[in-house]
Structure 1
C-alpha cells in the first residue's frame, strides 16, 4: 500500500518548481518574502513544501546565513485561541534552540520568548488583557503573570531590575503599555536576534485548507505579526478557493465582494505559486513509478532498475514539451525485460488518461494513489477467497465504480447467477465501441469517459463479474440470486463450452454430473457460447446433442433453446447432426417453414429426408 504522507521523492516532476522556489528565497538575501503555494486538496502542496525545504538546506552559508525551519500545521490547533498563539510559541522555541549555544544570545532569546508569552496571554482577553494594559495584576490570571515573571516584582533585586529596564521592554509595575507598541517591540527584537544569529527563519504553514474557516483566518492574522521581518520567509500552502470562502464566512453580513476576498490573501502573499496540474504524461509517469516502487519493495524489481526508471521518467517529463510524450513503448522500456512489469506498465498507460480526464479524479495525485490502494487491497483479498482475477480487470471495474457510479450500479444489477455473472449488454457495448457503432442507451454519456472505459483492456463483457462485485462489497451489498450449479456442474459447463467434437471424456463428465447438474450445465453453456456461435458449425449445437444422448429427458429444453435461433443465420453445417436426433425433427420442420431459412440448408434437409425414405 502507498502512504498518504508528504514526501521529497519526486514522481511528478515537481522538483523543477521546488528548485525555482528555493532559488527565489535564496535571492531575497535577507529581505522578507512570502510565497503562497496554491492547489486543491491532494494536489501535492505538502510534498512541494517539503522539497523546497530540502533544497534550501543546500544553500546554507555557516557564519553568513543558515536557514532555520519552523513547520506550522494549524489543523493540529483547531481550537480558535490555540491556533492564534501556537505559531508564536513555535517560533520562540526555535529561536531559543538556535541561541542556546551562543554566548550572550540565550538571555535575549529568553526575553523574546517572555514577550511572546505576554502576547499569547493578551489574546485570552479578560483578566489577562486588563493586567496587560494596566500593569497591575488582576484576578488569578494576573497573579499567574506576576508569578511567572511576566510583570515586574517588588522582590526582584537591583541587578535584575537593571537588566529588565535595559533589555526586556516588558511590563513594569503600574506602567501601562499599548498593544501596538508591544507588537512593534517584539518585531524589532526578533529581527535583531535573527541578524545576530545569522539565520533566516523560514516558516512553512501547511494544511491551512483542512482547518475550519475560523481557525484559518486566525492563523493568517497571527502570521501578520511575523511577516516582513528581515531574515524571515513564509511559505504558505493553501487552496486559494478555500481561503476566499473562509474570508467570506469571517466577514459574513458585510456583502464582501470576490475581489476583496482575493485581495485579503494577496496582501499576505508576495509571490503566488500554483502546484502544477497533472496532464496525461505526468499521470502515466506517476502511476508507473508507484507500480514499479511497489514491485521493487516486493523484490520483483532491482533497486538499480527502479532508480534508472525514475531518472528516465523525470527526463522524459522535462522534455515532454518537445513532443516526447510518455508512450506505452517508453513505459515498457522501463520494465527491465520483465513480463510482469510490462503488464503493470500497460495498466498505467490505460488508467492514466481516464483518471486524468474524469471529473471524479481530475488528475489528483492523492486520489490516484487511493485508487491504486483500493485495487491492490481487493487483489490481496481475492486469493484467500479462491478468486483469480488480474489487476487490469480489478482496476477497470473500480474505475467505473469511482468515475461512473450510475453505470456501475446498472451493470451490477444485471449480474445474475443464471448467466454465470456475464452481462451481455456489456459485451455488445464493448463490441460496438470497438467498431465505432452507436451504443445502447445505458452507455450513452455526455463525456468520453464511458467510451474510453469500454475500450480499456481487458474486455469484461464475457467475464464473470460476480468475483469483481464480491470484492467490491465495500461499496454496496451484492445479491446474484441462487446458483444451483455444484463444483462438478461448473466443470461440466466449462467442458461443454470448450468442446468441438464428441469424445469419451465429455460423455463421462456428463454421466458423472448426473441428470440435474447436466441439464443446468447445458443451459448455462448454451448462454456462454452465444457470442461465439456462428450457427453454421457442428460444434455450435454439440453441447445440446451430447447432453441429450446421455439424458434424453433434456430434449425438451434443447428444443426450446433451438426454437429461439436466428433462422436467417442457420447454415448447412449443423443440419446433419440435428437430423440424426429424433427429438430435433420438430425444430427442423419449423425452420424449414420459415421464409427466412437458408435455401441450401432447406435443400439439405429435404435431400436427407428423401434418402431416409
Structure 2
C-alpha cells in the first residue's frame, strides 16, 4: 500500500465526521486566512454551496468553484468544509432524517505530481478513509476489504497501460511487463532472457480471487463492481463522501486532466459529492494541451468541464471596503507580531471589522473615523491606517492587481522586504514611501521606468517633473508628460507622502529586483553643482554665470552642462531660446566643449523642434554641422526647415 500524506482528523459535531489533510504550504498562511474568509464576500457563496450539498440528501452532485489565481478558491473550499461541520448545516433535522453525516476529504493533486498518478492517489485516499470508517463496523469489514482489492486492480490496470491481463502465461518484456513489475513487493516475479514470468498465484492470493487464471481482466466489469461496492458501503455507513479537489491550477496540464479524468470513476455515485476548485481558463488551456493536434475549439474545452461540473460557482471579487479591511488587518498583524500593537487590540480588530462589513449596507463603511478608533491616538498606527485607505482604492482600481487577495499580500510582502533591506544599508525610508513607489512599479511599469530613468546624481535624486505633477494633481490642473491624465495616476500622485521633493535614489536602490539602476557619476565639485543649478534656471546671459564657469574650468563646466541638460529633458519643448541657453553660454566660455554640445543637440526629437530657436543656433559655430544635417531630413516641420534654409540664404 502506498502511503499518502493525508492526516485524518475526526470531528464529531451532532453526527458529523470531518476528515481533512494538512497542506504542506499551510505554514505560509497566517491566522488571517480564517478571519479573512469571514470578512470577504465569499460567505454567501460558501453558505449556498453547503446548502446545496445538504439538500442533495445523498444524491450525487459536483460543484465547481472557479476563480483566477489568488482569488481565494482555497479559502472558499475551507469555508464550505467548515459549514458542513457546523451544527446548523449538518445536524439531522426534519429534512434530513436519515442520520446522514458528511465525511470530507481534501485531495491535492499537486502533491502527487511526478510521484504518483492523480488517479491512483485519489482512489487510495478514498479507500483509506472507507476502510478506516469500516473498522468500527465489523459487519461491513469484508466489503471494505473487497473495495480495497478492487482499487488495487484498477491501479494495476492503469500501470499496465490498460491492456487486458491474463495469468495463463508469462507477460512479454516491454512497456506492459516493466510497468507491471513496478508494483514492488506485492507481486514477485523472476526474470528470464527475453521474457518475464509473473507469479500469478501470488497475485491471485493478494486480490483474493478477483483476478483468476485463464480469465481476462475486464476493465468495464471491475469499474462497475468498484462503483457498486463503494455506493453500498456509503449507504451502510450512512455517510456522504464529499471530496474537495484543490490546487488544480498549480498542476501541469497533464496532471490536471488526469485528476479530472479520475473524478469520473466516482461521479454519479449516490452519497458521493465533489467540490472542484479550479481556474476555468487554466482548465480550458489544459484540455487543449491534452487534445493537442485535434484542433478543438474553446467551446469544446468549455463543454468538457461542463460535463464534469453540474453547479458552477464563481469566487466574487473583493469590494473596496473588503480590500481596505484586508490591508488594514495585514498591516496590524505585522505590527502585532513585531510587538508594537497588542494582541488584545488585534483580536478586537478581528472582531470589529467583520461586524462593520456585515452592516455596510447601512452605510457603516471602513472609514478613517472607524480605523482611528481601532488603533487609538498613536500617530504611527494612524499613518498606517491612512496608507491602507489610499492603497486599497488604488489596488482595487488597478487592472494589474484587481483587488486580488494574494497579489495584495504579495505587494505588502515586497514592501516589508525592502524595508528590511534598507536598515543594514543605512537607508531610512518609511513604509508609506516604499509602498507608494512599489505601487507605481506594479500598476504602471512604463511610468515607473520613465521616472526612474530621470533620476541622476546631478539632480540629487529629485525629480522636478514629479513635484510639478503632484502639485497639478492636488490643484486638479493638467498633468505634464509622461503622466497619463487618468483617475489612477491622479490618485497615486496625491497619495502621501509626496515624492517629488525627495531623493528617490534610496527607493530605486531598494527596488533593484525590478530593474537595474544607474544614477550616473557623482564626481562634481561643490562649485560645479552650483553651476549646474544656475544653468538649469538661467534665462539670459550674465557675468556671474561666466565667472563661475571660469572658476571650475572646462571639464567641470562640460559636466555641469551635461547634468543640467539631462535634468531639464522632461520640460524641454524645443521651441524656446532659453532652453538652449546653457549650451550656448558654456560653449562661449570654453569653445572646446562645442563638440559635446552638438552631440546633445543632435538628440532632439526633430518633429518637436520649433523655428524660433533656429536663428539663435545659426549664430553658433558648433551648431552648424547639426543644422546642416537637419536640413537634409524630412522629419522637421515645414516652418523649421524653412528657417534653416533662410540661414543659408543669408550666408
TM-score by length of 2: 0.69
3-state SS of the aligned residue for 2:351? helix
Kept in 2, the 8 Å contact 1:121–1:129? The answer is: no
Instruction: Give the Cα–Cα distance (whole angstroms) in 1 for the partners of residues 169 and 457 of structure 2.
Output: 83
Kept in 2, the 8 Å contact 1:74–1:83? The answer is: yes
Q: Partner of 2:57 in structure 1?
A: 29
After superposing the two structures, state which structure 1 stretch, 412-421 or 176-185, moved more.
176-185
Please show how residues 284-303 of structure 1 align to structure 2 within 5 Å: 284-303=324-343
For structure 1, the residue ranges without an aligned partner over 5 or more in a row are 486-515, 531-543, 562-613
Kept in 2, the 8 Å contact 1:280–1:356? The answer is: yes
Kept in 2, the 8 Å contact 1:207–1:238? The answer is: yes
Q: Partner of 2:117 in structure 1?
A: 82
Give the number of the structure whose residues are more often helix, by fraction.
1
After superposing the two structures, state which structure 1 stretch, 117-126 or 427-436, moved more.
117-126
C-alpha change, 1:302 and 1:349, in structure 2 (3 Å) is same
Shift of 1:375: 0.3
Please show how residues 534-549 of structure 1 align to structure 2 within 5 Å: none
Please show how residues 50-65 of structure 1 align to structure 2 within 5 Å: 50-59=78-87, 64-65=99-100
C-alpha change, 1:215 and 1:81, in structure 2 (3 Å) is same
Kept in 2, the 8 Å contact 1:135–1:177? The answer is: no
Shift of 1:143: 7.8
Alignment pair present for 1:351 and 2:391: yes
Alignment pair present for 1:469 and 2:508: yes
Please show how residues 331-342 of structure 1 align to structure 2 within 5 Å: 331-342=371-382
After superposing the two structures, state which structure 1 stretch, 267-276 or 57-66, moved more.
57-66
Shift of 1:396: 0.5
- Pairing partner for 1:131 from 138, 143, 165: 165
Shift of 1:54: 2.2
TM-score by length of 1: 0.73
Instruction: Give the Cα–Cα distance (whole angstroms) in 2 for the partners of residues 523 and 39 of structure 1.
Output: 59
Instruction: Give the Cα–Cα distance (whole angstroms) in 2 for the partners of residues 96 and 461 of structure 1.
Output: 68
C-alpha change, 1:169 and 1:21, in structure 2 (3 Å) is farther
C-alpha change, 1:142 and 1:46, in structure 2 (3 Å) is closer
Shift of 1:484: 4.6
Instruction: Give the Cα–Cα distance (whole angstroms) in 2 for the partners of residues 458 and 286 of structure 1.
Output: 22
The C-alpha deviation readout for 1:181-201, integer Å capped at 9, x for no partner, is 211110110111122223221
Kept in 1, the 8 Å contact 2:415–2:431? The answer is: yes
After superposing the two structures, state which structure 1 stretch, 244-253 or 362-371, moved more.
244-253
Please show how residues 106-505 of structure 1 align to structure 2 within 5 Å: 106-126=141-161, 129-131=163-165, 138-139=171-172, 140=177, 148=186, 170-444=210-484, 447-484=486-523
After superposing the two structures, state which structure 1 stretch, 26-35 or 315-324, moved more.
315-324
Shift of 1:383: 1.8
Shift of 1:4: 4.7
- Pairing partner for 1:41 from 69, 80, 95: 69
Kept in 1, the 8 Å contact 2:62–2:274? The answer is: yes
Shift of 1:374: 0.5
Q: Partner of 2:613 in structure 1?
A: none
Kept in 2, the 8 Å contact 1:43–1:365? The answer is: yes
C-alpha change, 1:385 and 1:131, in structure 2 (3 Å) is same
The number of aligned residues is 501
Alignment pair present for 1:8 and 2:38: no
Instruction: Give the Cα–Cα distance (whole angstroms) in 2 for the partners of residues 39 and 323 of structure 1.
Output: 29
For structure 2, the residue ranges without an aligned partner over 5 or more in a row are 1-25, 93-97, 189-197, 538-543, 562-651
C-alpha change, 1:458 and 1:144, in structure 2 (3 Å) is closer
Instruction: Give the Cα–Cα distance (whole angstroms) in 1 for the partners of residues 503 and 247 of structure 2.
Output: 44
3-state SS of the aligned residue for 1:92? helix
- Pairing partner for 1:94 from 111, 115, 129: 129
3-state SS of the aligned residue for 1:130? coil
Instruction: Give the Cα–Cα distance (whole angstroms) in 2 for the partners of residues 184 and 156 of structure 1.
Output: 21
Kept in 2, the 8 Å contact 1:80–1:215? The answer is: no
Shift of 1:394: 0.5
Shift of 1:371: 0.5
The C-alpha deviation readout for 1:318-362, integer Å capped at 9, x for no partner, is 333444332233322322333222111111100111111212111
Alignment RMSD (CA, Å): 3.8
Please show how residues 546-585 of structure 1 align to structure 2 within 5 Å: none
C-alpha change, 1:169 and 1:377, in structure 2 (3 Å) is same
